[in-house]
Amino acid sequence: MKSPEILGPRLFTLQEAEAALPLIRDRLTRFRALYAEYDSLRRDLAVLRLVSTSGGDRSNPDAAALAEMERRQVGFMNSFRDIQEELLRVGCLAKSIQDGLVDFFALKEGRLVFLCWKLGEDRIQAWHTLEGGFAARMPIRSFRDGPPKEESA
């Protein structure tokens, strides 16, 4: 019997996280394109819902358009869910799919930290503590180099 697939975060090395970037980049780019279409649909839906509550019956063309748009909305929601599940399968944490912000759990000197990547960056350029967040990003060079060297007097 096949064991159930585990969805969720896992521990990455820098190399493993960077190897996952092409897939993540593709899914986030797809999400953004779908969301732009969905956002337009959402505005049209709001208008048609107002029209449909004004007493029109099912023979009204607006009612048919509303039903079609609601069907499309369900399709978008399913696509968004599928993309989120794919990212979970990778093991990264999508902090903001719309902003393209993704973190990867990693160990630095035995301490759990995040490798931090944002859509538009070629490679992982930063890391931060779990508490620090995006604003506390540090250059990836300091992740690779280990602890700061003590200066001799």
Whole-angstrom distance, CA of residue 21 vs CA of residue 152: 40
pTM, whole model, 2 decimals? 0.77
User: Is position 18 within any domain?
Assistant: yes
User: Is position 1 within any domain?
Assistant: no
The range of the structural domain enclosing residue 46 comes to: 14-145
Write b or e for each residue in 48-79: b if 16 or more Cβ atoms lie within 10 A of its Cβ, otherwise e: beeebeeeeeeeeeeeeebeebeeeeeebeeb
Q: Into how many domains does the chain fold?
A: 1
User: Is position 6 within any domain?
Assistant: no
pLDDT of residue 150: 45
User: Is position 57 within any domain?
Assistant: yes
Whole-angstrom distance, CA of residue 117 vs CA of residue 134: 9
User: Is position 76 within any domain?
Assistant: yes
pLDDT of residue 98: 86
Return per-residue pLDDT of the chain as tens, 153 residues.
555 566 778 999 999 999 999 999 999 999 999 999 999 998 888 888 877 666 656 666 777 888 889 999 999 999 999 999 999 999 999 998 889 999 999 999 999 999 999 999 999 999 999 998 888 999 999 987 655 444 444
Angle, helix 14-52 to helix 61-90, in steps of 10 degrees: 170
Query: Residue 139 in contact with residue 125, Cβ under 8 Å?
Result: yes
Start-to-end CA distance of the chain, whole Å, equals 64
In the chain, which residue ranges form alpha helices assigned H by DSSP? Answer: 14-52, 61-90, 140-145
Query: Residue 124 in contact with residue 140, Cβ under 8 Å?
Result: yes
User: Is position 152 within any domain?
Assistant: no
Angle at 131 between CA 32 and CA 16, to 5 degrees: 55
User: Is position 30 within any domain?
Assistant: yes
* Residue for token pair 């990547």: 117
pLDDT of residue 148: 46
